[in-house]
Amino acid sequence: MTNQNVLKPVAPHLHPHAQAAAETSCCGSPACGSPAASIHTADIPKGALLFRIPTMDCAVEESEIRRALEPVAGVRGLRFRLGERTMAITADEGALSGALDAIRKAGFKPEALNDSASSPAAGAQAAAAPGSIAGMSTGFARLMAALVLAIAAEAVSFLASDGAGSMAAEMGLALAAIALAGLDTYKKGFAALLRGRLNINALMAVAVTGAFLIGHWPEAAMVMALYAIAELIEARAVDRARNAIQGLLALAPELAEVRQPDGTWKTAKADAVALDAVVRIRPGERVPLDGVVTEGASAIDQAPVTGESIPVDKSVGDPVFAGTINQTAALEFRVTAVAANTTLARIIHAVEEAQGTRAPTQRFVDRFAAVYTPAVFVLAIAVALLTPWLMGWGWIEALYKALVLLVIACPCALVISTPVTVVSALASAARRGILIKGGTYLEEARKLKAVALDKTGTITEGKPKLVASSLLDRAADENAVFAIAASIAGRSDHPVSKAIADGLKRQPQPVDNFRALPGRGVQATHEGRSYVLGNHRLIEEQGLCSPALEAQLKQHEEAGRTVTLLASGRSVLALFAVADTIKPSSQAAMAELRALGVTPVMLTGDNAATARAIGMHAGIDDVRGNLLPEEKLAAIKALQQRHGMAGMAGDGINDAPALAQADIGFAMGGAGTDTAMEAADVVIMNDDLRRLPETIRLSRRAHAVLWQNITLALGIKAVFFVLAVFGSATMWMAVFADMGASLLVVANGLRLMRTPKAG
C-alpha cells in the first residue's frame, strides 16, 4: 500500500459542535477568536443559510444566540464555526426574518454570506469586521483617543479647583471617553441584562454607570477605556493561537503553473485548477495542490503536512501535498484534489472543527463561571446595602466598593484561559503531523496507562522486503537461478512475490506457462524446464524437504520471516526470506512510552512466532498473535480493566473495532484505511510512532498550563477581593488586575505553540 492513502483520511469524522456553554462568561469584544482566512461551506446542511456574526467571539456568544433563538418557531437547526465567526441556520420559510431579529436583539449583527440569505432581512455586511486588521487598526485609534480623554478628565479633576466649570469639563471629557470606548459594551451589556443574564458586558456597564452616577467621572472613563484597550490587546494575543492554524493556509501558493491542451504552460490561480490537470513545480517552489507525480524525481520537504523533519524522495506514482516544498528537481504531477479539498486544507478544517468540542477543563470552568459571577454580583449588592449598617461605612463608600467588586467579578481571565490553551496545543500538534480531533482527547491522553499497537503498518512498514536469499544447489549458477526466480516472481501480483522481484533486481528472463497455485505459490517454465516458486507447504508436497532444509526454514520462521523456495525437478535451488521490516521509529517510541509509564502491547492477526520476533525487536514484552478483529476488541477491554485508560494504534479495517473501543484511538495516516481514520480520535499523519508519546507529553503540558492559568486567574481575583472589601483597591486597579490576568493566562497558553520537546 503506498503513501497515497494519506489523501483520504484527513477529513475524519469529528465529534459534534459544542453545545451551549455557560451563560455567565466572558468575551464581549473580539478577544476569543479571529476571522478565518476562508469560509468552509462543504459541510453546511442542505437548505441552510450562512451568516457571519462579527462579534461572535467564543462559545459564550454562541450560547447567547442559541438562547435567543429558542423561542423562535420554525428554526430547525443551527451550526456554528467560531473560528470563522459563522453560523448556518436551517429554518422554515418565513422564519428567517424572526430569527435574525432575535439575533439582533441579543446584540449581534448577522451578515449574509450566501446568495439565498441575501435579503433585506439579512442586513448589510460590515465594512470591516472587528477581528480584521482594518477593524482592529480603526478600533485602536478610537480607543487611544478615549484613553487620552480619560487622562484629561483625571488631570482636570486633580489640577482644577472644585468649580462648576471644572466639574462640567471633567464630566464632559469622561462622557466623551466612555462614548468612544464603551458603546459596544453598553449595547451588549444592556441586551444581556434585559434577558436576565450576567456577562462581562453587563458587569462593566453596571460598574461604569454606577461610578459615573456617584460622581467618579474620571475613574468611570478610565475604567471603560482601559477595559476596551485591554480587550483589544487580548484579542490580538488570542488571535495568534487561532491564526497559527489559519496561517497554514498561506503555505500553499495562490498560483500554479498548469499545462494547457496544446502542451504549453500557463500560470493560473490554484483555486481554479481542475482535477486531473497537470501542474509543474520547480526546485525551491511550494506545491500548490495535492497530486500524484507523473514526471521527474525530487526530494520534498513534507514537514508542514506530516511533521517529517527529513525530506522524502518522490518519483513517478508518488503523492505530493499542497504546502510542501520541492527541493532538488522539477516535477510534474496530476492534480488529485482541488484547492478547497487538499490535505492541508482538510487538516486545517478538521482542527477548526476540533476547537468546537468542549474539553473537560473547559466544561468545568464554564460550570464554575455560571455560579461564580452571580455569586459575586449578589456579594456586591450585599456590600452596597449591608455594610453601611454593619460596618458603619458611608453609602457612597459602600457603593464604590460594590462597583469595584463587579469589575473583579469578570470571569474573562478564567474562561478565556482554557480555549486559548487548547487551541494552541491543537495547532502545535497539527504542525507536528498530529491531528487531534478535539480538546477532550488532548486532555485525556495524559491519563493513558497502556497502548495497544497493531503490527503490520503500525510497528512495521507494512511493505514486505527481501531480507535474505541463499543458493541451495551448489552446482547451479547463482546469477542464473536468481534471474529465473526474479522473472517468475515478477509475473505475480502477490506482495511476497513483488518483494522478491524488487529485492533481486535481475534482468527479466522469458518465462512461459505461468500459473498460480492457490495457497502455495506459482509455477512457470523457462527454456523448456519447469520451476515452482512457493512456500514450505508446496515444497513438502513436492517431496523435496530435507532435515537440513527444515532447519533453515525453522530459523527464518522463528525470526518472523516468510520463506519462499525455488525448485525444479528433484532439487530445491534457492531460498528467499521476506519480512515486513520494523519502522526505524518503533524501538524509540516504545522506549519513550515506557519512560512515560505507559505499557505497550502488540495485538496482531499474524502468527505468534512472527509477532514475538517483531515484538522482541521493537522492545514489546506483551505480544498477542493470531487475533481476529473481535479478539482485538476483547483485548482492549481487558487492558482497560487491568490498567485503566488504554489507547489503540492501528491502520487497518480490522483495527476499527478496537480503535473505537479504546479510550483514545490513534490511526496511522500514511498507510491507514478510511475506516480506521473514522474510528480514531488522533491521526498520526506520517506514521511515526514517536508521535504517540509526543501526544501524551503534549497532553500533560496542556493540562499543567490549564491549571496554572486557573490558579493564576482565581488567585489574582482572591487578592483583589480582599483589597476591595477591606483595603483601598480602586476601580481602575481592578480593571488592571482583571485584564492583566487575562493577558497573563493568554501568554501562558500560547507557550504551547512551541514545538514539543522529547523527554
Task: Specify whether the CB–CB gap between 63 and 21 falls below 8 A.
Answer: yes
Q: Is 428 helix (H, G, I), strand (E, B) or coil?
A: helix
End-to-end Cα distance, the chain: 33
Distance CA 186, CA 206 (A): 9
Distance CA 671, CA 651 (A): 6
Q: Is 502 helix (H, G, I), strand (E, B) or coil?
A: helix
* Strand 599-603, strand 450-453: pairing: parallel
* Strand 622-624, strand 111-112: pairing: unpaired
**Angle at the Cα of 558 from the Cα atoms of 557 and 559, rounded to 5 degrees:** 85
Phi-psi domain of 644 (left: phi exceeds 0; alpha: psi -120 through 50; beta: other): left
Q: Count of alpha carbons within 13 Å of 16, Cβ hemisphere only?
A: 5
- Nearest Cα to Cα of residue 492 among 511, 470, 474: 511
Task: Specify whether the CB–CB gap between 11 and 73 falls below 8 A.
Answer: no
| H or E element at residue 577 | strand 571-582
- Nearest Cα to Cα of residue 348 among 440, 250, 239: 250
Distance CA 413, CA 418 (A): 9
Sheet holding 562-568, edge to edge: 460-471, 571-582, 562-568, 529-534, 521-526, 512-517
Beta bridge partners of 332: 280, 295
Distance CA 382, CA 398 (A): 9
Q: Secondary structure of 506-524 in the HEC alphabet?
A: CCCCCCEEEEEECCCEEEE
DSSP 680-714: -SEEETT--TTHHHHHHHHHHHHHHHHHHHHHHHH
Structure-block grid coordinates of residue 88: 448556518
Q: Is 5 helix (H, G, I), strand (E, B) or coil?
A: helix
Q: Is 454 a catalytic residue?
A: yes
Round the CA-based radius of gyration of the chain to a whole number and report it. 33
Q: Count of alpha carbons within 13 Å of 668, Cβ hemisphere only?
A: 31
Task: Specify whether the CB–CB gap between 235 and 739 falls below 8 A.
Answer: no
Other beta carbons within 10 Å of 471: 16
Structure-block grid coordinates of residue 329: 528537481
**Can you list the positions of beta strands (E) in 53-143?**
75-81, 86-91, 111-112
User: Which residue of the set 57, 318, 366, 454 is catalytic?
Assistant: 454
Q: Is 121 helix (H, G, I), strand (E, B) or coil?
A: helix
Task: Specify whether the CB–CB gap between 454 and 472 falls below 8 A.
Answer: no
Q: Count of alpha carbons within 13 Å of 673, Cβ hemisphere only?
A: 13
Residue 436 sits at φ, ψ, to 5 deg, of -95, 130
Phi-psi domain of 518 (left: phi exceeds 0; alpha: psi -120 through 50; beta: other): beta
Q: Which residues are catalytic, by number? A: 454
